[in-house]
Structure 1
Amino acid sequence: MRTRTTIAIGALLLAALTACSSGSDDKPDEPNATATATKTVDQAAARQACIDAWAEALQDAEVSSEDEPAACDGLPEGDKLDRYMEGLAQRNEANRDEVQDCLDDPTCTSMPIP
């Protein structure tokens, strides 16, 4: 998940650097490519922060998909269920990793495994 975000940020920065080095032939009324790239990066970072907040909220307590964390304020409503499901998947992966770590450690007693 973070790998995709890192790749997207790198691609946007590369596009922004390429657009800035075009020379003096630029027309003054052309839109600024870096402003669009920054907005996209900010939206992606805000979305990832929302997913991380969902994962943390789901780890701590029983939460319904209607109780969206404050980190999700300002994000599109149409994407709400996707963010919840990605947070749930992230929480499940963390739990699986914790169980696997306990299974790999013969002295672990934190998981009640028969």
Structure 2
Amino acid sequence: MKDVSVFIQNLYQLFNDRKIEEIVAHMDEDVKWANAMDGNFVYGPEAVREYWTKQFEVISSKVKPLTIEVENGVVKVHVHQVVHDVNGALLADQVRDHYFRLKNDKIIEFGIRENEIDDAGWTF
């Protein structure tokens, strides 16, 4: 992949625009994706699609990448995330770290780590 930063920024814009199909097209068929609502993972693009469809029925979130770093094959994205419920009440306004692993220009893993958790608490 020529420019990981541009790829990642585009993914977040697609997410904020709720263009699920365009994001899913960038996922490996065996993608492992963090399910922040349930605290586990979903596997495969169809499961991610279902997860987001369910998520967007109960919350509205906007996520803005602040910094993007690549180290040892992991893309770390420091993000500002604002989440509202369906009635517009603020649920969260926080900074978190998102992690991606890419292979052959496809997302193979995505994970989340809150900044308060040290690196030892993070696992893919």
Flag whether TM exceeds 0.5 (same fold). no
TM-score with structure 1 setting the length: 0.31
Higher strand share: 2
- Higher Cα Rg, which structure: 1
Higher helix share: 1
TM-score with structure 2 setting the length: 0.29
